[in-house]
């Protein structure tokens, strides 16, 4: 599976294009601030047909351009069932506080733990990782892990927002420590440093147990 990280915006939020090189089927992960012409450029260059838009969770900085991208490519919008409400609730998705301009759109498919998203003969697995939000997910295969706001370089997502839960985040950390492949490249929802999961297991204080989610 191939991926491109889009040039990121005001809060170093990351959007990605993923695709199957043989079938040209692709998905867009977290269309936050990325403009349509940025996506267009890469989609044309690589001959990609967007089938899915996938939100790692429902916060405004990850869903802001859902509607624009969905209308442009006619793709299905996917989010974990526990975050579906975020798409239409400005207090939950935080746009009420940060950005009153965002346009709501509902999901086409609600995801559950262990679901698989197919792009041709390749798959991304859905791991439900509640804590930062109730319906946060990590999308992963053997070589890539899109961790949203659950796992960052050297940190984990904050748990002081509406519907966040520190105790559940502790369980989520144990869960992804067991399930994520050591060789997977960690591609978080914010920040520009890339690392393998094996490196995070050694240097991330929230994974080594030196720090607790807050
Ligand atoms: Zn978030
Ligand atoms: Zn975020």
Alpha helices in 15-149 (DSSP H): 36-46, 60-63, 66-73, 90-93, 95-98
pLDDT per position as a tens digit, 77-115: 999 999 999 999 999 999 999 887 788 899 999 999 999
> By percentage, how much of the chain surpasses pLDDT 70?
100
In which element (H, E) is residue 175 found?
A: helix 166-179
**Pairwise pLDDT comparison (99 vs 170), residue with the higher score:** 170
Interval between CA 57 and ligand 2 midpoint (Å): 8
User: What is the predicted pLDDT for the residue at 152?
Assistant: 97
Q: How confident is the model at residue 166 (pLDDT cuts 50, 70, 90)?
A: very high
Interval between CA 42 and ligand 2 midpoint (Å): 23
214 occurs within a structural domain: no
What's the total number of domains in the chain? 1
182 occurs within a structural domain: yes
Domain of residue 167, CATH code: 3.60.15.10
Interval between CA 121 and ligand 1 midpoint (Å): 30
180 occurs within a structural domain: yes
Name the residue range of residue 35's domain. Answer: 2-208
Rg (CA), the chain: 16
User: What is the predicted pLDDT for the residue at 115?
Assistant: 98
149 occurs within a structural domain: yes
145 occurs within a structural domain: yes
Start-to-end Cα distance in the chain: 34
213 occurs within a structural domain: no
15 occurs within a structural domain: yes
pTM: 0.97
65 occurs within a structural domain: yes
Rounded to an integer, the average pLDDT of 39-65 is 97
Buried-exposed string 21-41: b where 16+ CB fall within 10 A, e elsewhere: eeeebbbbbbbbbbeeebbee
- CA dihedral sign, ordered 167, 151, 96, 80: negative
**Token pair recorded at residue 35:** 């403009």
Interval between CA 40 and ligand 2 midpoint (Å): 23
């Amino acid at each position: 599976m191939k991926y491109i990280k889009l040039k990121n915006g005001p809060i170093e939020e990351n959007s990605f294009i993923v695709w199957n090189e043989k079938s040209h089927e692709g998905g867009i992960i977290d269309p936050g601030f990325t403009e349509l012409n940025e996506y267009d450029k890469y989609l044309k260059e690589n001959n990609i047909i967007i089938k899915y838009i996938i939100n790692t969770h429902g916060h405004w900085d990850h869903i802001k351009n859902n509607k624009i991208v969905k209308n442009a490519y006619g793709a299905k919008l996917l989010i974990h069932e526990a975050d579906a409400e975020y798409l239409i609730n400005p207090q939950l998705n935080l746009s009420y506080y940060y950005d009153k301009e965002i346009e709501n759109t509902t999901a086409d498919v609600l995801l559950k733990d262990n679901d698989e998203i197919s792009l041709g003969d390749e798959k991304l697995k859905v791991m439900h990782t509640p804590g930062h939000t109730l319906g946060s997910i990590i999308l992963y295969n053997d070589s890539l892990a899109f961790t949203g706001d659950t796992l960052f370089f050297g940190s984990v997502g904050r748990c002081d927002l509406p519907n966040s839960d520190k105790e559940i985040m502790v369980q989520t950390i144990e869960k992804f420590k067991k399930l994520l492949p050591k060789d997977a490249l960690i591609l978080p929802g914010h920040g520009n440093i890339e690392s393998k999961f094996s490196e995070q297991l050694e240097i991330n204080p929230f994974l080594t147990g030196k720090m607790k989610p807050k």
